[in-house]
Structure 1
Amino acid sequence: MMVRGTGLHSGEPGTVRFHPAEGPVRFWLGGLELRPLASSVVDTARCTVLGRDNLRLMTVEHLLAALFIRGIWEGLVIEVTGPEIPILDGSAQEWLAALEGIPALGPEAVRLSGAVRVEEGRSSVLAQPGEQFALTTTILFPHPRIGYQQVQCPPTPLEALAPARTFGFLHEVEALRAQGLIQGASLENALVFSEYGLVNTPRMLHEPVYHKALDFLGDLYLAGRPYQGQFVAHRASHRLHVELARLLEATPSL
């Protein structure tokens, strides 16, 4: 199966094909294999970017979130053309559909034996022991249509996060495009906030925090294996998510 689309930041076309293969999930691009691991992350500004040698693969988080939700850690090679995973509709729901039928394979979840916390200012991520995988995500934006939002999984199922789109603010568009970012953004693949309201229609109540939780799943996938424990992401960023994944990857028995 092949998925075609445009990169959110690069604006360039790209394709993704899924191939059954023994071993851990990995990307294949430019003649090289690239494992989706925190140790391979080279940038976290506005998206999560993997790199090896002179290759860079941008905006991997939504596809990785779909792999996390489906429980696919092994048995798949993901062939990619283009510098960026296509943004599609800005969420993970099309990736979930593309992965349907691919078996859930992977190691048993590691049970966290202690707590690990990464913080920066008022932002933090926390992993601590628990009887099952659980995620609490909170955000706080000084915007009348966002403010403080929280989602907890469970009771919210992880699959319910998948339709939540990336979001942004109208007043940032010009500056971001001047930096070479969001070249492929549109009202079809992003929820956009104007100064006091919304430019387009949200898909669900609290769509921004649902998307932040989705991003966290994609970045946590970079730890390299599933974990059993309680995770809390408070006003967090790709950088903090990836730093937590980096600590877990380096010390899987934490």
Structure 2
Amino acid sequence: MRVHEKTLARSISYHGFGLHSGAEVNLTIHPAQAGTGIFFRRVDLPGQPEFKAAVSNVVSTVRCTALGLNEEVKVMTVEHLMAALHGLGVDNAVVELDNCEVPVTDGSAAVWVRLITEAGLVEQNRIREYLTLPGPVWVEERGAKLIALPAESFSVSYLFTSDHPAVGNQFAEYAVEPEVFAERIAPARTLGFAHEVEVLRKQGLALGGNPEIAVVIGTEGYLNEVRFPDEVVRHKVLDLIGDLALVGRLKAQVIGIRSGHHLNHLLGQQILATLGNSR
């Protein structure tokens, strides 16, 4: 069945702060013409530079995925917003923001889902293109693994492993469809270990972090109420969807074991290399 591309029916806006930078930011997502893809535009910088949400524009994968032209012209923590756009079926949009990081909202993609749903989507006069794999594609690094298998649709399976007794090993498997994404994946918040917070802040990261926007784990267990018993692994699925959205619309079964942003990016590169695509 041929599916048409979609964009937002109207612009949406959000004011918040960045998880790592702690900076206040105003973000607006505008509809875009068919065939545009997703673009980010830094309206606070001279000339309002913009760049496509693509694997080739990844400038960092340290604790988040950052896109840009260089270290000065970039946008950090794009993965939750990218996951929401991809998961709900938005193909074309321009994301304008006046600082260096996408707002963290509540640590999940639920706010983006709500705003996109309220705005609604419109079908465009262009057939959506999908990427299909000729065979298995995989990457691994330090015990973490990712494999993408040819499939008729996009699905993600993920195994999160932890020695922490309160967290343990968690497994999740989802077909990435709008309703499933909105209800079962998007609300899952980012993971934070209490003992890592000061270390991260000394590195200039997690400056906007607080217990309201994360699943916080201390030595005795969870320090706040979880939304799902397996919220940790659901969020890993969310991150993986957002990172792979930079590849394009895959028809693949993706299986992850303990992967993070860096390995997600490597899989994206490997998929495009396999397909002979320089996106």
TM-score, normalisation: structure 2: 0.86
**Where does residue 95 of structure 1 map in the other structure?**
112
**Where does residue 192 of structure 2 map in the other structure?**
168
**Where does residue 26 of structure 1 map in the other structure?**
39
Q: Comparing 212-221 with 92-101, which one deviates more in the overlay?
A: 92-101
Q: Comparing 9-18 with 97-106, which one deviates more in the overlay?
A: 97-106
**Where does residue 52 of structure 2 map in the other structure?**
35
Shift of 1:252: 3.9
Query: Structure 1 residues 45, 24: CA separation in 2 closer, same or farther (over 3 Å shift)?
Result: same
**Where does residue 144 of structure 2 map in the other structure?**
123
**Where does residue 211 of structure 2 map in the other structure?**
187
Secondary structure of 2:211's match?
coil
Gaps of 5+ in 2: 1-11
Shift of 1:88: 0.5
**Where does residue 11 of structure 1 map in the other structure?**
22
State how far apart, in whole Å, the 2-side matches of 1:250 and 1:79 are. 30
**Where does residue 72 of structure 1 map in the other structure?**
90
* Match of residue 58, structure 1, among 76, 81, 101: 76
Per-residue CA shift, 1:124-170, capped at 9, x if unaligned? 11111112212101110111111110000139923210000001111
State how far apart, in whole Å, the 1-side matches of 2:104 and 2:30 are. 20
Gaps of 5+ in 1: none
Q: How many residues align?
A: 252
**Where does residue 153 of structure 1 map in the other structure?**
174
State how far apart, in whole Å, the 1-side matches of 2:176 and 2:86 are. 17
State how far apart, in whole Å, the 1-side matches of 2:82 and 2:139 are. 21
State how far apart, in whole Å, the 2-side matches of 1:227 and 1:178 are. 38
Shift of 1:250: 4.2
State how far apart, in whole Å, the 2-side matches of 1:116 and 1:136 are. 15
Runs (4 or more) in structure 1 with deviation over 4 Å come to none
Per-residue CA shift, 1:1-55, capped at 9, x if unaligned? 2101010000000111111221221111131111111111111111001121430
2:262 partner letter: R
State how far apart, in whole Å, the 2-side matches of 1:15 and 1:205 are. 33
Shift of 1:122: 1.2
1:15 partner letter: N
Secondary structure of 1:141's match?
coil
Maintained 8 Å contact 1:25/1:78: yes
State how far apart, in whole Å, the 2-side matches of 1:252 and 1:24 are. 19
Shift of 1:80: 1.1
1:142 partner letter: D
State how far apart, in whole Å, the 1-side matches of 2:22 and 2:272 are. 31
Maintained 8 Å contact 1:222/1:246: no
Shift of 1:249: 3.5
TM-score, normalisation: structure 1: 0.94
1:39 partner letter: S
Instruction: Give the root-mean-square deviation of aligned CA atoms.
Output: 1.8
* Match of residue 234, structure 1, among 243, 257, 262: 257
State how far apart, in whole Å, the 1-side matches of 2:25 and 2:275 are. 33
Per-residue CA shift, 1:171-222, capped at 9, x if unaligned? 1111111111101001111110010211110011100000000000000011
Maintained 8 Å contact 1:37/1:249: no
State how far apart, in whole Å, the 2-side matches of 1:167 and 1:108 are. 33
Per-residue CA shift, 1:42-85, capped at 9, x if unaligned? 111110011214302110000000011111122x1111111100
Q: Percent identity?
A: 38
